[in-house]
A = this chain, B = another copy of it.
Amino acid sequence: MNGTRAFIHELLEKPMSGEAIEQRSFDIIDKEACCNGFTVEQWPIVRRILHTTADFGIAGDVRFSGDAIHAGTSALRSGSRIFVDSNMIRSGLSIARLRQVQPEYEQGHVVCHVADEDVAQKARETGLPRSLFAVQKAREVFDGGIAVFGNAPVALLELNRLIMEEGIKPALVVAMPVGFVHVTESKEELMSLQVPFIAIAGRRGGSPLAVATIHALCSLVVQSGSQLNGE
């Protein structure tokens, strides 16, 4: 690479913060992909999902129940607990962002049992996935809680059963498990139930998409608060 200048010097000569880079990214997405038939409240969610995948094709797979935005922002405002099906989601969710919505949020509000030893033990004994027992262990979180799936279709299937058979009513379900076995079925079943949801239809999904959805809901609350305060 003799004589070639490292690209980063261009950035260092015109410094941009992480926030400025994010805003420029959003501007690019707005210019290239907005708004694909989504409402003005849905689009910021879709935009952040596009931001985290850099794949505009996934916009056509995003599904909202009619009440999803209101239900999700209300649950966050009231500090509802958040079940997540992967430690990557727990790690990616920003407690600082959650606290901008509801100062009471702390790490303990984000519940993930998939790596617990008792859950692993049950999986070994039964030959079933750990994610199933992680949902069962978190059962009391779901009524009124936010349920976030970015990994495990079996976890979503068990939540569907709790809704169908045991009358559990989550405040919002973020239904974005990814993969090839039981994935499409898990989402179609969820979307047939009478609960607020934001979903990625089909096989695609993933932990970053689920995190992006919650972060976008947080931003909606913060921005609407700013507008109410005339900022």
Contact = CB atoms under 8 A, between A and B. Distances in A.
Nearest to A209: B206
A126 interface: yes
A94 to B, nearest CB: 10
Nearest to A161: B6
Contacts of A180: 24-25, 28-29, 51, 54
Given A54-B179, A55-B55, A193 B18 contact: no
Given A8-B157, A88-B91, A161-B6, A178 B129 contact: no
A15 interface: yes
A60 interface: no
A206 B206 CA distance: 10
Nearest to A156: B8
B207 A88 contact: yes
Given A129-B17, A129-B21, A131-B18, A88 B6 contact: no
A4 B1 CA distance: 65
A11 B182 contact: yes
A143 interface: no
Interface in A140-187: 154, 157-158, 160-161, 164-165, 178-183, 185-186
A130 B135 CA distance: 35
A208 B165 CA distance: 33
Contacts of A77: none
Given A52-B178, A207-B207, A127 B157 contact: no
